Structure 1
Amino acid sequence: MNMKKNPRSVQVIPPSGARDGHKIAAPALVTTMARLKTTILIIVGFMAFPSFMMAQQIYTGQVKDSLTGAPIQSASVTLLSSGKGAISDSAGQFSIQASPGEKLSVSSIGYVGTTVTLASNTNLSIVLHSAAGTLDEVVIIGYGSARRSQVVGSVAQVDGKDIAARPVLSAAQGIQGKVPGVQITASGAPGSQPEVRVRGVGSVLGDANPIFVVDGVITSDITNINNNDIASVQVLKDASAQAIYGSRAGNGVVIITTKSGKSGKMQIHLNTYTGFKTPTSTVKMADARTYAAFTNAARAYDNVDPAFDLDTLSATTNWFDEVTHKGIIQNYDLNISGGSEKVTYYFGGSVFKDQGIIPGEDYTRAAFRINNTYQLAPFLKLGNNLNVSVYNMNNKPTEFDDAYRMAPTVPVRFDDGSYGYTSLLSVANPVAKLDLTHDKGDQLRLQGNVFAELKPVNGLTLRSSYNFDYHNNNQKVYTPVYFIWSGQKNDISSLSQSNNNSFYYIIDNNATYNKTFGLHEINATLGYSSEKNRDKSWSGSIQNVPADPNLWYLDQGDNNADVGSSGAILTRASAYSRLIYTYDRRYIFNGSLRRDGSSSFPTDNQYGTFYSIGGAWVISEEKFMKNQTLFNSLKLRAGYGKVGNDITISNLRILNEISLQSKYYGFGGSNTAAQQAWTFDQIKDAAVSWETTKGTDLGLEFALLKNKLSGDISYYNKLTHAYIPVTVPTTFGDQDKIVYSQAADVRNKGVEFELNWQDHTSKDFSYHLGFNMTFNTNVVDHVDGTLQLKGGSLGNGEIVTYTVPGQPIGSFWVYQTDGIYKSQDEIDNSAHIQGAQPGDFRYVDQNGDDLINDKDRIFAGSYQPKFYYGINGGFAFKGLDFSFDLYGNAGNKIYNGKKAVRFGNDEIEAARVDDMWSTDNPNGTQPRASNAIPKPSTYYVESGNFLRVNNVTLGYTFSNTQKWHIQSLRVFASAENPLIWKKYSGYTPELPGNALSSGIELSIYPVTATYMFGVNVGF
């Protein structure tokens, strides 16, 4: 029966068979239908009434971290029945319309999700536990992500908020002490990036730092990234995890993921701090009278008249104090984020200012970030991650060496205002050098990517991205005319300018397939990338430039400008793949394969293959583990792989370098004139290619006691086939008879472990403790050819480091001291160096040939530590929070080059005169006063052990801030590097440098201590 509804009546249309004589009682039918309709509406109304009433309830709540009690921003709150959701704001708060009995799912990145059943209480307090160390933690693994249970390699993850909590420029420094197997060596210089070593040093001549991957952009410098924009940092430590990056991953991979917007209302965060910097530790130098007495005594031994009248000395000048000051450090950061189901956005802006501890130097960086996604259709998403940064820097020379050597008897300025000096020693007035140096640099950098993601079928994602990094650097150095004395003057003003411009891009296309078939799970990645790096630079210099800064240009001097330019283009092409297969969440197989091509190498060697294979057994998923309550997760993993390093030697060395020179050939006769001929300057190794590293990793990951205790124990063993210089016969025609070749094997093997404990004893109190330690053995396994790896010059013709088989890279090889000579008879009856006097060092004749020469040098340790470690912890009580980070290493040595190389009449350390030998103190244990430079010896090799307090922070988060029209407010005080316990007598035991000369302190910018106060505000 078909009915048409009319506002006034009901028309009944009879069936076709009833139209020819059958009659229908229309009024009765209408009455019956009306009653039926009324009855249905009443029943439905009664049934819907409770649900309708329950649907009117508004649930509000706050999401907190179980460990710290801090609010969790951007947590996803979703009704399982309808999919309707909300996002927590900066105070962790949310509101959602729901009914009692419905289930609410709450999740956030880095936390284990939870599901709650709603009741009549509409005020919710939801606590999430950190997923760090658990098998459900999502880990970025390069070109994708996976659950930690699926990762067969060694991958460490650091939350971005832990990095942003420290007042450092680079995220690399922010992870110091937080990741086992990663050694960070930082400098206190403004604008500097620390050295990063992942599981030891393998490359002898090349860059030993890992690559950084920032939102898909591969780079070596991350000082342009604002730490508050970072969501997380992952460190890929072994070959099985690194192989997806192939020829670039030999020294490790650090993946940085920046923040993105979330669906929900707009959130605004303002973070700022300000403070000051000072040297963490100093060296006590001799005062004027002690120095003068020492110098007079040294001159007396050389039969030279005294230089000072001790009765007429004026006040002491502390030169270290004169070249340092309290430098101001400031940071201002503002970010805005939010979005809808179709569009998300994140805008960040920051200004970081660091004056450093040297007067006149400063570094200012402004960074702006825009991260967006656009969901154009359910199957299509577009996005961008863009970062623009600019910095300006006033550079000053590092005058700690001159300040260390300058006589304390010399004033900074004489009474007439002119700079102080002395002709007694060849040291420049360091304050004058700072004042007279005009060195400015700036950089514009644009880095980021644009991408498109297409999901044509369930489980398959096609992604295409254009990643780029553009730099434009300028530097200008002006040297004025000045005369302080004949040893410190400049007769002609000069100006030098330089520019470097580079553009690097990667076009990357890949497909990722994730699918579960019953007990089987597949995560497959296949991709291709093409990249190009164009670099060009120019430089110029000119003399007689006016002193007016407005005229510091190359066209303002004389007509003899010296201008040059250079350029280089590097291209790479790569195909890569990875398969992760999981069976029943228990057994995991992982394989990666990458084929790389690079224009850095000769045509025959431009392509290489890199790979990894690994497996894992999730023991905690086995049936026999189901009834136990001790372990929450337990996983055993193993992996093996091969990776490479193509940042080794200059691209020019893939070619034979020749030049036209005049040569004499003695064939007899009267014609003895020189003849021009083409000769080799540098010959190539025809087999030049990547440095390769093959490595094995074994690991055990666990979490127990309701995830309160988690940890990781790993063993690794990797071998790098490294480049070194080897000698070739004279007949090869090479000028220096040295060719760079892969002729050395360097092995790093060790054990690393990490333990983390977190607990909350009450609703208001929680705490956490963490400890990690790495034992590493670095050794040169094998060397082909004639080794030429002497390094570590002291600046006086002496070398102190050798790289030889059986010992670490850059080991100290010096003379062994055996006390001091007490008399001339001792000298006459032993092997000694020429000119030895009583009170001088006695060196051991190791080979018994009655001579003291290079054959008597011994191994005296290296700068490579035997182990390094990190300790961290903290607690939260109601609104109060406290945290600390410590870092240290042990088992390494440092060569105190400053103290060892004392030129005539230089200043001395105060401790130098303690128990010093003299005719009045013939039993003294320290060498006599002398202006001679002693041999490199064990006397100057000191312990490199140290423990540093990286950071201590005390904060307070206010409650009920809505009355101030803000969502959250936290104030804090923090100290960075405030304390260090060390045995080394120099400025700092942390000494950046290349592998061949690391661990020698000559002139180092010391690590600085920073004390600051800050505010975090959320709107």
Structure 2
Amino acid sequence: MQNNLVVIKSADGGAYEVKAIVTGKVTGENNTALSGVSVQVKGTNKGTVTDAQGVFTINANEADVLVFSYIGYETQEIAVSGKTEINVTMVASNKQLDQVVVVGYGTQRKIDVTGSVTQIKGEEISKQASINPISSLQGKVAGVQITNSGAPGSSPQIRIRGLGTVYGDPNPLYIVDGVWYNDISFLNPADIETLSILKDASAESIYGIRAANGVVLIATKKGKAGQALINYSGYGGWQSVTNQVKMANATEYATLINELSERNGAEPVYDDPASYGNGTDWYHQILRNASVNNHAISLTGGSEKNSYSFSLGYLNQQGVVETNDYTRYTALLRNDFQPFENLKLGYSVTGAFSNSNDIPGGIFHQLFSAAPVVPVYYADGSYGDPNDYNVGDGSNFNPQVTIDFFNQKSKNYRLNGNAYVDLKFLQHFTFHTSVGGEYGESEVRNYLPVYKATLKQQNSTSQLSIQRAETRNWILENTLTYANKFGDHNITVLAGQAAQRYKSYGLTGTAYNVPFNSEGDLYLALGDEGSRNVVDYGDLSTIASYFGRVNYSFKNRYMLNASIRADGSSKFYGDNRWGYFPSVGAGWVISQESFMQNQKIFDYLKLRGSWGKIGNASVPSNLSVLKVTQEPYLTAIYNNQPYTGASITTLVPPTTYWERGVGTDIGLEASFLNKRLSIEADFYNKKTEKAIFDIPVLGSLGTSSGSIVGNQADFQNRGFEFSATWNSSLSKSLSYTIGGNFSINNNKVLSVSTGANPIYQAVGTTGSNNFNTITVVGQPIGAFYGYQVTGVFQSDEDAAASLQSTAKAGDFIYKDQNNDKVIDGKDRIAIGNPNPKFTYGLNTTWNYKQFDLTIDLQGVAGVDIYNANLGLRYGGENFTKDFYDNRWHGQGTSNSYPSANIGGGQNYLANSFYVESGSYFRIRNAQLGYTISPDFINKWKIKKLRVYANAQNALNFFNYKGFSPEIGGTPTRAGVDVDVYPLYATYNFGVNLTF
């Protein structure tokens, strides 16, 4: 080779052919490198793509023409003409928003979309140190609220434009490569190509049966024509609890317990509180800095006829609680083939295996409650016994014992796949058929050994419990698409049919006196034969669907979208089995009108509006089936013959039918200043009709479930979303992007089938009927409920003369809401809202030469938390340092905090003292990276090498007095902090490598 020219002898030994090795770099208008740009030799199947630095290399004849194409940019053709270096600056397409986004059953140009759809690239998702890909979206998408849990391997809670449903699964429908899922914890974030969120009813209704909570469409990475690429990405680091709650030390605890004892007319429990010193810090004893390691390697490549993608992933995450850890292995294999010009087929398979060492339920409440006067161990190595320190029942445990003798392991296996065929015929028609499925198995094994650690913490009979669950789901879909463009008209018609089956099976078994085996080989058969008990259960449901959609545009100026879907579900009966979900959307690109041609403000301006219906069948089967039990005690003997009796132990509604969502959306999209600034704003109104709720009922009615489930209420989410993005450069070496979003959502119950009677729940409270959440007309779902505190009684005389004659000094003063001169249950009101009113995020990326800096900010406001930890007391629990410092302990000492008797008298009743602001602002992610110069690494055949340092959730700003204000929960029980696994900050160092 000389001067980048290669002389190649022809196959027949005749003429010689001169080829050039052409290299170059592709950049955007702001001089930033563009990766993934297609570089094709015109008229052939030879091609490549640019790497992360925008660099490409390709063999070409001197007479060849290279075609450069990239979504959102004008395609360019450049003749080789003997050149060996070609640098290209791509120009943004004059057809604004010509980029393609993934929508239901296909793709659309952004300009043609009439609904509210947000698409995130996989590189944005994998950049964060998140275990679940949904966590990476926090603060990045307007109208999407994500609540994370600190538990290793746990799935985040996601709400799209507020609560779409209450009973069953309130999370959105996930569709990965055409297969429907309830959860995507099996998916490695590094395997995602794009993620689209469908937010309004018009975009969602094509998935009618499960669209009530929004739809998340995920496409996994596929190979591209060109040279095979090997990519490795990995990071290692640690996680530590932030904003740790400071508890009272041993001296302060003993002081408070003495005050409590004296207030109740008893002698002090501890003679000399000061003698106990600081005592045991149980959080410090049990919590730790936890390591986290994540590695992924992939191989991608292909030709014009075949592309492939294969990846492996490994994750090991320790929990911040000692002994807690989670390990996950993932694999992805995807092949796409095009044997003929009109035929394309392929498949994708993902597999995941995870195992974890679990923690005991209630451990965080134990750490909150444990008495600091109790040592972890005595001098002889035995466990500190709370009974030796006269602690009450509420703290008669040593958390170290709880951890040491808890032995539970969980395993999960998942295998998911999809295969498809696309056949094009008669020029404008495409037939698509696909079949996919999900195979899953899980097992939880819990072993309780024989031990004696303290007076209360001991066990004389070993027990083995095993839970196993299996999932066998499949989905079949067929669609026929007609797409044609004639003149100024562009039309696409879709017709489809689908069938699904969901099957689950579970088994639980227990056995006693199972001998301990250090190898971990524990089986039910090892236990006493008479003690063994096995129960199995299962569920089967099927769905049949028919759907269609028409997309029409005229002159890229006027757009119309209409769809309808009919779903039939075996979960309902008779005429109620079928649900019908229509939608319509329209768009107007105002900037294309002639009267806008001479204006200088807008580069692009589009108005869109939509309306649609969506549904929810994510509820248990057979809700309207009356079940009976046949227990031995119900058997009667008559004439020496046994007659089996039965008892009705459930209450069911006469019929249950689809809950439906009806939504309207009006949106505005615009860009300014030579397309550097773009904005998008939406107003929406989403109403859920005949929502399925469970209403608690009295046990005296003879029910075992304690509730009746059915179509009970109507509620509404109404809100506004705004997002903006600014792209610019300050010089050839410095470019940046700043994006922000803000959303408002108001959730309100419109009607309840129980009339004026609310739906109550008790979460983390003690006492009969001590409800602390309420669902009632005019309030949000699951609003906090209780008495309004107006102060604290300063003397027994003041209390005796009040409406709370049984109260004492240091007790809460409750407001007489109805002015009937009596403090009773009628004075309870809504005292807080667990549903955030405001969510926002600010994301920015800066590139300077080979450095890159990404900072993501995120927060919520207008939300409350019910701190149930403070009042959930049975005697002897510890107190927070904040409570110790601010408590009432004598006249004039406090008019906001009660005495040490916070859990006694009437103080334990649900009230506004326990409600705190859940608003927060945090630096969600900060990452600094450096890309090694290609000149330095090319000699090792490395195409890209980037190293980075990352910090996630390092800085959090809030006034809540718990670990974190990010508290999830099911809709009518959300926002209650009791035994919540705390969040943590993650610090890690990583590398991205391509060769």
State the TM-score, normalizing by the size of structure 1. 0.90
Tell me, in whole angstroms, the C-alpha distance in 2 between the residues paired with 1:153 and 1:356.
41
The Cα of 1:116 is off from its aligned counterpart by 5.4
Which residue of the partner structure matches residue 960 of structure 2?
984
Which residue of the partner structure matches residue 4 of structure 2?
none
Which residue of the partner structure matches residue 697 of structure 1?
665
Tell me, in whole angstroms, the C-alpha distance in 1 between the residues paired with 2:713 and 2:454.
50
Matched, 1:818 2:782: no
CA deviation digits over 1:675-704, x for unaligned, max 9? 986554334434312210000000001122
Which residue of the partner structure matches residue 249 of structure 1?
211
Matched-pair contact (CA < 8 Å) for 2:508–2:536? yes
- The one-letter amino acid paired with 2:789 is T
Tell me, in whole angstroms, the C-alpha distance in 1 between the residues paired with 2:885 and 2:165.
42
Map 1:425-574 → 2, pairs under 5 A: 425-426=392-393, 427=395, 428-550=397-519, 551-559=521-529, 560-574=531-545
Which residue of the partner structure matches residue 419 of structure 1?
383
- The one-letter amino acid paired with 1:941 is V
Higher mean displacement: 919-928 or 674-683: 674-683
Tell me, in whole angstroms, the C-alpha distance in 2 between the residues paired with 1:379 and 1:928.
79
Structure 2 vs 1, CA of residues 114 and 406 (structure 1 numbering), >3 Å: closer, same or farther? farther
The Cα of 1:822 is off from its aligned counterpart by 1.5
Structure 2 vs 1, CA of residues 994 and 416 (structure 1 numbering), >3 Å: closer, same or farther? same
Secondary structure in 1 matching 2:982: coil
Which residue of the partner structure matches residue 165 of structure 1?
127
Secondary structure in 2 matching 1:209: coil
Tell me, in whole angstroms, the C-alpha distance in 1 between the residues paired with 2:290 and 2:223.
36
Which residue of the partner structure matches residue 578 of structure 2?
607
Matched-pair contact (CA < 8 Å) for 2:758–2:777? no
Which residue of the partner structure matches residue 370 of structure 1?
333
Higher mean displacement: 875-884 or 75-84: 75-84
Which residue of the partner structure matches residue 1009 of structure 1?
985
Tell me, in whole angstroms, the C-alpha distance in 2 between the residues paired with 1:932 and 1:1005.
23
Residue of structure 1 aligned with 2:975, choices 982, 999, 1005: 999
Matched-pair contact (CA < 8 Å) for 1:134–1:710? no
Matched, 1:346 2:346: no
Secondary structure in 1 matching 2:206: helix
CA deviation digits over 1:454-511, x for unaligned, max 9? 1122232111111111101111111111222232221111101121111111111111
Which residue of the partner structure matches residue 226 of structure 2?
264
Which residue of the partner structure matches residue 638 of structure 2?
none
Structure 2 vs 1, CA of residues 1008 and 65 (structure 1 numbering), >3 Å: closer, same or farther? farther
Which residue of the partner structure matches residue 761 of structure 2?
791
Which residue of the partner structure matches residue 710 of structure 1?
678
- The one-letter amino acid paired with 2:415 is L
Matched-pair contact (CA < 8 Å) for 1:67–1:767? no
The Cα of 1:729 is off from its aligned counterpart by 12
Map 1:117-156 → 2, pairs under 5 A: 122-128=84-90, 134-156=96-118
Which residue of the partner structure matches residue 735 of structure 2?
766
Structure 2 vs 1, CA of residues 569 and 580 (structure 1 numbering), >3 Å: closer, same or farther? same
Residue of structure 2 aligned with 1:94, choices 56, 60, 66: 56
RMSD: 2.7
Tell me, in whole angstroms, the C-alpha distance in 2 between the residues paired with 1:431 and 1:631.
65
Which residue of the partner structure matches residue 176 of structure 1?
138
CA deviation digits over 1:230-284, x for unaligned, max 9? 0010000011000110111011000011000011110111111000001122111
Matched-pair contact (CA < 8 Å) for 1:89–1:267? no
Matched-pair contact (CA < 8 Å) for 1:653–1:683? no
CA deviation digits over 1:801-826, x for unaligned, max 9? 11000000011121111211122331
Structure 2 vs 1, CA of residues 171 and 123 (structure 1 numbering), >3 Å: closer, same or farther? same
Residue of structure 1 aligned with 2:165, choices 184, 188, 203: 203
Secondary structure in 2 matching 1:485: coil
Higher mean displacement: 543-552 or 89-98: 89-98
Tell me, in whole angstroms, the C-alpha distance in 2 between the residues paired with 1:121 and 1:1003.
68
Matched-pair contact (CA < 8 Å) for 2:696–2:759? no
Matched-pair contact (CA < 8 Å) for 1:663–1:675? no
Residue of structure 1 aligned with 2:778, choices 783, 787, 806: 806
Matched-pair contact (CA < 8 Å) for 1:751–1:774? yes
Matched, 1:193 2:164: no
The Cα of 1:329 is off from its aligned counterpart by 0.5
Matched-pair contact (CA < 8 Å) for 1:298–1:931? no
Which residue of the partner structure matches residue 191 of structure 2?
229
Paired positions, count: 957
Secondary structure in 1 matching 2:262: helix
Structure 2 vs 1, CA of residues 737 and 1003 (structure 1 numbering), >3 Å: closer, same or farther? closer
Tell me, in whole angstroms, the C-alpha distance in 2 between the residues paired with 1:795 and 1:859.
16
- The one-letter amino acid paired with 1:344 is S
CA deviation digits over 1:567-625, x for unaligned, max 9? 22111111111110111111111011111111111133211111101110111222233
Tell me, in whole angstroms, the C-alpha distance in 1 between the residues paired with 2:779 and 2:95.
36
Secondary structure in 2 matching 1:651: coil
Secondary structure in 2 matching 1:996: helix
Tell me, in whole angstroms, the C-alpha distance in 1 between the residues paired with 2:886 and 2:500.
64
Structure 2 vs 1, CA of residues 998 and 614 (structure 1 numbering), >3 Å: closer, same or farther? same
Tell me, in whole angstroms, the C-alpha distance in 2 between the residues paired with 1:661 and 1:53.
92
Tell me, in whole angstroms, the C-alpha distance in 2 between the residues paired with 1:921 and 1:727.
42
Residue of structure 2 aligned with 1:616, choices 582, 587, 596: 587
The Cα of 1:928 is off from its aligned counterpart by 2.3
Matched-pair contact (CA < 8 Å) for 1:778–1:864? yes
Residue of structure 2 aligned with 1:632, choices 603, 628, 633: 603
Which residue of the partner structure matches residue 12 of structure 1?
none
Tell me, in whole angstroms, the C-alpha distance in 2 between the residues paired with 1:996 and 1:483.
40
Which residue of the partner structure matches residue 849 of structure 2?
878
Which residue of the partner structure matches residue 897 of structure 1?
868
Structure 2 vs 1, CA of residues 558 and 703 (structure 1 numbering), >3 Å: closer, same or farther? same
Tell me, in whole angstroms, the C-alpha distance in 2 between the residues paired with 1:468 and 1:570.
15
Tell me, in whole angstroms, the C-alpha distance in 1 between the residues paired with 2:707 and 2:869.
31
Tell me, in whole angstroms, the C-alpha distance in 2 between the residues paired with 1:133 and 1:237.
25
Secondary structure in 2 matching 1:652: coil
The Cα of 1:297 is off from its aligned counterpart by 1.6
CA deviation digits over 1:417-476, x for unaligned, max 9? 111121212332112111111111111111120111111222321111111111011111
- The one-letter amino acid paired with 1:815 is Y
- The one-letter amino acid paired with 1:425 is G
Residue of structure 1 aligned with 2:369, choices 405, 419, 426: 405
Structure 2 vs 1, CA of residues 313 and 132 (structure 1 numbering), >3 Å: closer, same or farther? farther
Tell me, in whole angstroms, the C-alpha distance in 2 between the residues paired with 1:618 and 1:81.
35
Matched-pair contact (CA < 8 Å) for 2:765–2:871? no
Aligned residues with identical type, % of pairs: 36
- The one-letter amino acid paired with 2:195 is V
- The one-letter amino acid paired with 2:862 is G
Structure 2 vs 1, CA of residues 678 and 493 (structure 1 numbering), >3 Å: closer, same or farther? closer
Which residue of the partner structure matches residue 328 of structure 1?
291
Matched-pair contact (CA < 8 Å) for 1:699–1:713? yes
The Cα of 1:365 is off from its aligned counterpart by 0.7
Structure 2 vs 1, CA of residues 361 and 663 (structure 1 numbering), >3 Å: closer, same or farther? closer
Matched-pair contact (CA < 8 Å) for 1:662–1:675? no
The Cα of 1:627 is off from its aligned counterpart by 3.5
Matched-pair contact (CA < 8 Å) for 1:643–1:692? yes
Secondary structure in 1 matching 2:979: coil
State the TM-score, normalizing by the size of structure 2. 0.92
Structure 2 vs 1, CA of residues 256 and 130 (structure 1 numbering), >3 Å: closer, same or farther? farther
Which residue of the partner structure matches residue 951 of structure 2?
975
Structure 2 vs 1, CA of residues 903 and 69 (structure 1 numbering), >3 Å: closer, same or farther? farther
CA deviation digits over 1:835-866, x for unaligned, max 9? x1112211112223332211111221211111
Tell me, in whole angstroms, the C-alpha distance in 1 between the residues paired with 2:475 and 2:276.
66
CA deviation digits over 1:212-231, x for unaligned, max 9? 00001100110111111100
The Cα of 1:734 is off from its aligned counterpart by 7.3
Which residue of the partner structure matches residue 28 of structure 1?
none
Map 1:385-404 → 2, pairs under 5 A: 385-397=348-360, 399-404=363-368
The Cα of 1:794 is off from its aligned counterpart by 2.2
The Cα of 1:975 is off from its aligned counterpart by 0.6
The Cα of 1:920 is off from its aligned counterpart by 7.0
Secondary structure in 2 matching 1:604: helix
Secondary structure in 1 matching 2:591: helix
Secondary structure in 1 matching 2:168: coil
